[in-house]
Structure 1
Amino acid sequence: MLKTLQQAERWQVEAVLLDMDGTLVDTERVYIDSLTDVLTEFGYPDARAVCEAMIGLPGPACQQLLIDRYGAKVPLREINAAFATKRDACFSQGLPLKHGTIELLDALDAAGWPTAVVTSSTQQTAEQHLALGGILERFDFLITRDAVAHSKPAPDLYLLAADTLGVTPRACVAVEDSGVGIAAAFAAGTIPIMVPDLLPPNEATRAQCAAVLPDLIAVRRLLTERAGLGINA
């Protein structure tokens, strides 16, 4: 039996919002490794550090980061083409899910809790990645950067997700893997939970988190304890 929690410790949760890359599907490692290899092949220094700085950012911001680091003459078109080739070769056999994805989605579905994917990726990319992971049909809505003027770390995506689901942001748990995503979820007024993927949170990011957990199994457990997930299912 779950221990009784004080009322002040409980969360009133009406929806769960989930980042995609690095949170639900294991794409970030593929992205970082593929682009690191390409930049190295093109002769650019500090490739991995530059790529890790892109985690959680939308595509246009990543392109600008390359320009800022390597100069205006960086051959973006050629780099993008080489990156896409390496990335797609990795994705050709399907896309692995992060540990606990299915277990969390099953628990949310059984409890009837509304869900949305909230991602800085485009609608096309989101649909592709979720389909490759076999979970495209598991969500009520996909909220992508195509729908807002400002992507993460701005709060726009999370505010739109809450509005689309018809709930207040403070009644939404947002699950993210990056500092950029946590900043967006925090600014929107949601309950941010971080499951770090490639990089641990810094002090500023940790201060914005309601919890930092090792995987989505732990997220499911925490939602059971703090918000009653599955108790009445």
Structure 2
Amino acid sequence: MSDPRLTPDPSIITTDQPAQITLPVVDLCRSPSDPRDRQLLFGDALRLLNSSAGWSYVQSEKDGYCGYIPADSHGPAAAPTHKVSASATHAYTGGDFKSPDQMRLSHGARVTVIGQDGKFAQTAAGFIPAQHLMPIDQFRNDPATIAALYLGTPYLWGGNSRDGIDCSGLVQAALLACAIPCPGDSDMQMALGQEATAPYQRNDLLFWKGHVALVTDSDTLIHANASAMACTYEPITNAIARIATQGDGPVTAHRRL
């Protein structure tokens, strides 16, 4: 049976056009009346499959997720040249950090640089500090380092940005930044890598029912969790005991990338 998260509904499709997100963060919903399933970031590429009554039915290119977004949250597709490599940044009205900021962009947002003004890159979103960007075709090589950029980020169910993130959103952001394809939800992420056993190694994935965490060393993990309502480090043994005590059961999978 096909997964509706990843399979466009053929009864809805009326077009198939490339598009991209034009707002900092946009909720992706199963239907216009549903809460968010996931989120999309500025510059994320889409397939626009339908647009009516103020909503657009789309499929995200980065992970294949399907859903509805507001029709005013996307625009024509462009070829991004850079992506935000800092945890977050601002786009200013000019190439000066004292100029008004007009947009906050999360790590992973994609932009097209059209010019340079001193230490600022000019984009359609505004002028962004060049040190906060990296070329679109360059990647990091350590997911745990990327995950650390999100430390302290508030927990948000279905969140995918530095403003709010959940467990699978954190893992996806960390892996995509390292050129490792990664689906959006923890049940699908359990297919990543190979089955592993202790001792734990950096960048291993640990799964519970409805939860995933990224190992940072043999004793520690990082995860966005509802216990702290934030992205935090936690000793692995403490996390295993706490999650079992709160009724969510034992570790269900240990995967090595």
TM-score, normalised to structure 1, is: 0.29
Q: Which has the higher contact order (CA 8 A, sep 6+)?
A: 1
Please state which structure has a larger fraction of its residues in helix. 1
Please state which structure has a larger fraction of its residues in strand. 2
TM-score, normalised to structure 2, is: 0.27
